[in-house]
Amino acid sequence: MESLAERERGTAADVMQLNVLAGAVAAGVIALLAATTTSADDAGALYERHCASCHGAARLGGMGPALLPENLGRLKPEAAVDVILNGRAATQMPAFASLLDRDQAGALAALIYTPLDAVPAWGMDEILASHRVLADQPPLDGPTYDADPMNLFIVVELGDHHATVLDGDRMTPVHRFKTHFALHGGPKYSSNGRFVYFASRDGWVSKFDLWNLATVAEVRAGINTRNLAVSADDRYVMVANYLPHTLALLDARDLSPIAVIPIAGDGGETSRASAVYVAPPRESFIVALKDIPEIWEIQYRDDPLPVYNGIMHDYRLQEGIARAGGRFPVRRIRLDDYLDDFFFSPDYSLVMGAARNAKTGQVVQMDVGRKIADLALDGMPHLGSGITFEHAGRQVLATPNLRNGEVSIIDMDTFETIERIETLGPGFFMRSHENSPYAWVDVFFGKDRDAVHVIDKQSLEIVRTLRPAPGKTAGHVEFDRYGRYALLSIWDMDGAVVVYDAATLEEVKRLPMVKPSGKYNVYNKITGSEGTSH
């Protein structure tokens, strides 16, 4: 009888053969794409003109992802031509059909599937060399200015790479400061709300003191970064990278690096990280992988145990974390499909996720470590922006859809879709508050991108459609800590944060901002308000 080890070796060999075959097929397609009237020199000029500002001059990523063969495994070369010409749903990738013909798009596709002579290394040595401590962290009982520290907002102004500290009672700016290029929209707070942590698309992580209004430290944790998470005990920051294919573990006190964890599967294939979030009751980080159908759970407690809720789990020590003293074991959970984003149940026992190319979502029970149900979600649900609330005596999940004009309402006990609310188009963000009867969802894509729907959480009907700036994209609602006000962004260089009375739905105030991509209330984030993403 064949042993388990022999079967595993055979499986690995099969995977390697398939990878070689897939590489040969891709090489043939790339050769066909390159056989156009556009020369390699022309392709380079086209890239510099149309692509470099978002994806980086060296294709290493910026506002957009890195355009390298190792980062494009799930996008076939022939499909890349269509993306270049027609854009990509649920992203900021525009359509270039009015500027490029198909031959030019083919030449660009061939270019981005051509390996670089060398991808820059970015491991522990490079991270250490980038580390900077910039300011002291003096003992304080609260802010050095007059404001409720629990009702502050951070507003990310993507247009000119700044952030604004906003007083959530007076709705007045307290302080505005420069950030690194292209922040990911979701900063994370320490448990007392004093510190906020940012990750930029080009890998820089910063720690800012909200009470003392100073940047404390920064470090470059990767070349192209997805997002970060902060442990519930305020000790660690985990950074998820697109490039290199690693997770970087930092000391939350000063952002000094602790470990670099490579992301690899059984056959040696590597993967980008789709996202990392913290699961406080589990004392762990949960990581979704972009190119391998797995999620990882990484414990950060001092005495990590293979037993959780009475169940024995297989935690493995990953290569590359010897500096961490043998801690931070990785538990790998195999799935049927990739997870491009995911959502936690309120008790963090379930991960509900979906892939960009999937027709259904997956429900993963974390205690047993396997998928337990499918979710009837077609299109492209944005579960990372999902919210929960009580409807008709039961807990439901509501999620917008990045491809279809609908909001899905899912029973959290049966996982059945009980309602599909038709909207004017695909939406990006959905928010509510436990003290509000309404849920707000934008229409971020398409001709009605200036519209925002207000949905009654009991009738599940749209009761108001707001257009705060006709013709300009409106998105990302966030409530103040009490649920009295709903703040909405106008995503434009000449943009604004529009403050609404959350009960009457009338505009209260308009604050000029430079393309404010998101607003994040301290109290709602650190308490896990049911109306905001975690």
Only one residue has tokens 């959350």, namely 502
The number of distinct structural domains making up the chain is 2
| Residue 109 identity (one-letter amino acid) | A
Q: What are the tens digits of pLDDT across the range 27-75?
A: 444 444 444 455 556 888 888 888 988 888 888 777 777 787 776 766 7
CATH number of the domain to which 404 belongs = 2.130.10.10
Residue 251 maps to a domain: no
Name the domain boundary from 51, 86, 112: 112
Name the domain boundary from 56, 85, 112: 112
How are the residues of the chain apportioned to helix, strand and coil, as percentages rounded to the nearest 5?
20, 35, 45
| Residue 305 identity (one-letter amino acid) | L
Residue 419 maps to a domain: yes
Residue 258 maps to a domain: no
Residue 301 maps to a domain: no
Residue 183 to residues 156, 489, 503, 520, Cα–Cα distance (Å): 8, 16, 32, 13
Q: Is the dihedral of CA 143, 146, 152, 155 positive or negative?
A: negative
| Mean pLDDT (10-residue bins), the chain, 534 residues | 37 38 43 50 83 82 77 74 80 82 87 80 95 97 97 96 97 97 87 97 96 98 95 98 95 97 92 94 95 94 76 69 66 90 90 75 92 82 83 93 90 94 94 97 94 98 98 96 98 97 98 96 94 78
pLDDT of residue 23: 42
**Domain containing residue 480:** 381-534
CATH number of the domain to which 93 belongs = 1.10.760.10
Residue 123 maps to a domain: no
Residue 345 maps to a domain: no
Strands ordered across the beta sheet of 195-199: 132-133, 214-220, 204-209, 195-199, 188-189
Residue 332 maps to a domain: no
Name the domain boundary from 112, 144, 170: 112
Task: Give the chain's end-to-end CA distance (angstroms, integer).
Answer: 48
pLDDT of residue 4: 33
pLDDT of residue 38: 57
Residue 372 maps to a domain: no
Q: Is 119 exposed, middle or buried (0-12, 13-18, 19+ CB in 10 A)?
A: middle
pLDDT of residue 504: 98
pLDDT of residue 323: 43
